[in-house]
Amino acid sequence: MRTTQEVIEAMYAAFLAGDKDGMLAVMHDDVEVRFLGQAEVRGKVAANAFFEFAGGLLTDVRFTLGEVLVDGEWGAGIWEETAVTADGHPWSNHGVDVVRVRDGLVVALHENNDTRQVYRYLPPYRPADRSLAAADDSRSTS
């Protein structure tokens, strides 16, 4: 079985390669995914829908992963990114991803970032299938 470090490295390698399926491959079927200011979803189907949505929000992305710290089943990746939003605005954000790995799979991915940037430049996540979004999504409308 892969270690927490190996699983997190595989997740980031897939992300940096633009390989959504590779990211999903290291996730548990009931994974909890939370991106502050954007989405909170549970399960691979819901994560896939959110990743599809998020994949078109930024272009010319320059993502820099700093340190990855691991302690047991928990890991944290410190990152910075610049890009251009879909509507042409310059984008800059930074944050830390908190990842929990059990039995060789990611069971939780929590992306923490500057939500002021998210609210200012990115549209809210509103999946066509409302069952794929958290019930308490403060940016969504009924």
Cβ neighbours around 43 below 10 Å, total: 17
Stated pTM of the model:
0.90
Structure tokens at 63: 């993502």
pLDDT value for 140? 47
| Low pLDDT (below 50) residues in the chain | 136, 140-142
pLDDT value for 121? 96
pLDDT value for 63? 96
Whole-angstrom CA distances from 5 to 11, 19, 63, 67 are 10, 19, 19, 12
Q: Find the farthest-apart pair of alpha carbons in the chain and give their distance in angstroms, rounded.
A: 43
d(CA 131, CA 41): 9
pLDDT value for 133? 66
pLDDT value for 142? 39
Question: In this structure, are residues 113 and 95 in contact, taking their beta carbons and an 8 Å threshold?
Answer: yes
At 56-91, the pLDDT tens digits run 999 999 999 999 999 999 999 999 999 999 999 999
| Domains present along the chain, CATH in parentheses | 4-126 (3.10.450.50)
pLDDT value for 59? 95
